[in-house]
Amino acid sequence: MSELNIYDSAKRKHPAIEELTALFKYRDLIYQLVRRDLIARYKRSVLGVAWTMLNPLGIMIVMTIVFSQVFSRVESYPAYLITGLICWNMFTQSTSFAINSMVWGNKLLEQIYLPNTSFVVSTILSNMINFVLSLIPLFLIMFVTQVPVRWTVVLIPLAMILIGAFSLGFGLLISTLAVFFPDVAELYPVILRAWLYLTPIIVPVDILNNILNGWILRLNPMYYIIDVFRQLIYYGTIPSLTQWLIAIFAAFGTLVIGWIFFCNKSDKFAYYV
Amino acid sequence: MSNITTHEPQSDSAIFLHGVGVLYRIPHDPIKTFKEYVIRAVQGRIKHHSFWALKDIHLDLKRGEIFGIIGRNGAGKSTLLKVISRVLIPTEGRVWIKGNVSPLLQLGAGFHPELTGFENIYLNASILGFSQKEIDEKVEEIIDFSEIGDFINVPLRTYSSGMRARLGFAVATAWKPDILLLDEVLAVGDVAFKDKCIDRMNLFRDQGSTVLVVSHSVDNIKETCHRAMWLDEGQIRLVGPAEEVGNAYQKDMKTRRQGKMRVNR
């Protein structure tokens, strides 16, 4: 009987710490939620998991047809495009799902105690798995467009972790806002669209570099992170130490801020959702 | 019999609430957009109309006790259960809970229609906080109890509502909870299954689980509970032996009804 857990609201730790320990205790739940996401997403479509690979391929082909004339000076544009695109997909899908899971998706938090971050964290993780799978079409395109694969690709897991961390942090921030202001959920796709064109994904870097003396890039955390990823794969170079540090700072800074913001507000979620 | 309790939970306490209050703040005219919020915040015009869904709740529930909560609609019964199940963090006061809480409020929480019954057992049980290993040990028993049979390997969307409820109940009650929260009478499946459910509830009670029952049926509470609490507009009206509290409540309801009838006339 003495091993019973005691919950005492008078002896609570800082919410951000408390949430971390709670999430660790519920790690099997995270596994189950990721599994559910993956199974549910693919079970009823004929091609199943193949869609993870076909989707960026399809978009890449459409975009290449549309933009390759405009941006013809970019060397092997399809490869340039798809490196940015799979990072962007990872970011937008996971953060949009994060909003849905907090606002509409889960009435669960109103009914049963769960670590509040469970849904956002599991969403990011299942999208990370899709992200890994989308490397297959990426290498396919590189092979077809004859972009050499250099040894630097062994470092891409690091860049992918940065994208995951940034997505998690930003997902926590935006979904907290969306709980209190439902408008945010409506506005977010518009913001994403603008952000897409202001980040070197479709548009070549040098064009964006000419806008506002380059400040449009300098203030964009997504630029640094995608740049690291693209250097490793597309250019086959190692980013400089400064570039690494800025990207790490942008990703994990966002994660820490998002985590603390979310946890500080999460006590009030039940009053709003 | 008085509702003034000590300031610290005792060694035999299971649930201990001290001065718990839940304040809901409702903006006078609801602010729905971010823009509106910013404009008003700048103008200092955010006015809230607030009300206490619960106020000054003191409660010391002993291990193994069966405790009833009665009150009219909107008296704060469900809010109280939410506070105890940690879904709602109260605005003020202290909540102290010893042991795991099983909220039989929502059966089959998180069930996913595309997953099979078997997969849903794992999903549902992990939502309730059980580990992979714990579920492995119980999964056979859960399937047996739910009487799902061969349907266990079929997507849940093909299940009837009764089957879903049975599976949900089987998962939720597979482990003996330290504290069991019951909202209303369980309406699960057919009569035979209902009996099985009631047996299981009784078993938990006999094995020393603390049970908290919320019900509209005062007679039910008087019959099954040791003690009861009468909530009225978020405050404790009376706490004591279930029989006594139930009678007082019924008497009050009667006079209210008569009062209303007189007004109508």
Can you give the pLDDT of all 265 residues of chain B as single tens digits? 444 556 788 888 889 999 999 988 776 666 666 777 777 777 666 666 788 899 999 999 988 898 999 988 888 888 898 899 888 889 999 999 998 888 776 677 778 888 899 999 999 999 888 999 999 999 999 999 988 889 999 999 999 888 888 898 889 888 888 998 887 655 555 667 777 777 887 888 888 889 888 877 788 888 888 899 999 989 999 999 999 999 999 999 888 888 877 766 5
- Chain A residues whose CB is inside 8 A of the B103 CB are 111-112
Would an 8 Å CB–CB cutoff place B90 in contact with chain A?
yes
Beta strands B235-241 and B227-232 are antiparallel
- Chain B residues whose CB is inside 8 A of the A269 CB are none
Token pair in block for residue B96: 């102290």
Token pair in block for residue B133: 């290993």
Task: Quote the mean pLDDT of chain A.
Answer: 86
Q: Which residue of A has its CA nearest to B9?
A: A8
Would an 8 Å CB–CB cutoff place B106 in contact with chain A?
yes
Confidence of residue A172 (pLDDT cuts 50, 70, 90): very high
Mapped onto helix, strand or coil, the DSSP state of residue B7 is: coil
Which pLDDT score, from 0 to 100, does residue A215 have? 81
Low-confidence winner among A97-106, A245-254, B120-129 (lowest mean pLDDT): A97-106
- Chain B residues whose CB is inside 8 A of the A181 CB are 32-34, 37
CB contact under 8 Å between B101 and A113, yes or no, is: yes
Would an 8 Å CB–CB cutoff place A181 in contact with chain B?
yes
Mapped onto helix, strand or coil, the DSSP state of residue B90 is: coil
Q: Which residue of A has its CA nearest to B132?
A: A28
Q: Which residue of B has its CA nearest to A267?
A: B89
Would an 8 Å CB–CB cutoff place B112 in contact with chain A?
yes
Would an 8 Å CB–CB cutoff place A3 in contact with chain B?
no
Cα B249 from Cα B241, distance rounded (Å): 12
- Chain B residues whose CB is inside 8 A of the A114 CB are 127, 129
Side chain identity at A117, as an amino acid letter? T
CB contact under 8 Å between B100 and A43, yes or no, is: no
**What is the least distance, in Å, from the CA of A257 to any CA of chain B?**
21
Side chain identity at A131, as an amino acid letter? F
Q: Which of A57, A107, A99 is nearest to A184 (CA)?
A: A99
Cα of first residue to Cα of last residue in chain B, in angstroms, is 39
Domains in chain B (CATH in brackets) are: 13-100+216-264 (3.40.50.300), 111-171 (no CATH)
CB contact under 8 Å between A181 and B85, yes or no, is: no
Cα A11 from Cα A14, distance rounded (Å): 10
Q: Is the ipTM of this complex over 0.85?
A: no
Scanning B197-256 for CB atoms below 8 A from A yields: none
**What is the least distance, in Å, from the CA of B261 to any CA of chain A?**
37
Instruction: Tell me if B246 sits within 8 A of B222, measured CB to CB.
Output: yes
Mapped onto helix, strand or coil, the DSSP state of residue B57 is: strand
Cα A249 from Cα B160, distance rounded (Å): 52
Instruction: Note if the pTM is more than 0.80.
Output: yes
Q: Which of A196, A190, A223, A195 is nearest to A209 (CA)?
A: A223
Instruction: Tell me if A200 sits within 8 A of A84, measured CB to CB.
Output: yes
Neighbouring residues of A81: CB distance < 8 A, sequence distance ≥ 6 = A60, A63, A64, A67, A201, A202
Cα B166 from Cα A239, distance rounded (Å): 57
Low-confidence winner among A29-33, A62-66, A153-157, A245-249 (lowest mean pLDDT): A62-66
Instruction: Give the torsion sign (CA, A183, A189, A194, A200).
Output: positive
**What is the least distance, in Å, from the CA of A174 to any CA of chain B?**
13
Distances (CA, A) of B144 to A120, B133, B170, B207: 34, 19, 9, 22
pLDDT exceeds 90 at position A258: yes
**Residue A213's CB: how many other CB atoms inside 10 A?**
9
Instruction: Give, in degrees to the nearest 5, the angle at Cα A94 between A183 and A61.
Output: 105
Task: State the residue for tokens 């935006």.
Answer: A174
More confident residue, A92 or B260: A92
Q: Which residue of B has its CA nearest to A110?
A: B87
What is the arithmetic mean of pLDDT over A254-271?
89
Q: Which of B210, B231, B253 is nearest to B62 (CA)?
A: B210
Q: Which of B8, B84, B94 is nearest to A12 (CA)?
A: B94
Neighbouring residues of B5: CB distance < 8 A, sequence distance ≥ 6 = B16, B18, B58, B59, B60
Side chain identity at B174, as an amino acid letter? A
Instruction: Give the torsion sign (CA, A104, A107, A108, A109).
Output: positive
- Chain B residues whose CB is inside 8 A of the A188 CB are none
Radius of gyration of chain A (CA): 20
Confidence of residue A1 (pLDDT cuts 50, 70, 90): very low
Phi then psi dihedrals of residue B102, to 5 deg:
-110, 110
Mapped onto helix, strand or coil, the DSSP state of residue A251 is: helix
Instruction: Tell me if A127 sits within 8 A of A167, measured CB to CB.
Output: yes
Which pLDDT score, from 0 to 100, does residue A110 have? 78
CB contact under 8 Å between B98 and A271, yes or no, is: no
Burial B116-129 (b: 16+ CB within 10 A, else e): bbbbbbbbbbbbbb
**What is the least distance, in Å, from the CA of B3 to any CA of chain A?**
21
CB contact under 8 Å between A6 and B88, yes or no, is: no
Cα B163 from Cα B159, distance rounded (Å): 6
User: Which of A99, A126, A271 to probe by mutation at the B interface, max B CB count within 10 Å?
Assistant: A271
Cα B256 from Cα B238, distance rounded (Å): 17
Low-confidence winner among A15-29, A66-80, A174-188, B149-163 (lowest mean pLDDT): A66-80
Burial B24-38 (b: 16+ CB within 10 A, else e): eeeeeeebeeeebbe
Scanning A182-201 for CB atoms below 8 A from B yields: 182-184, 187
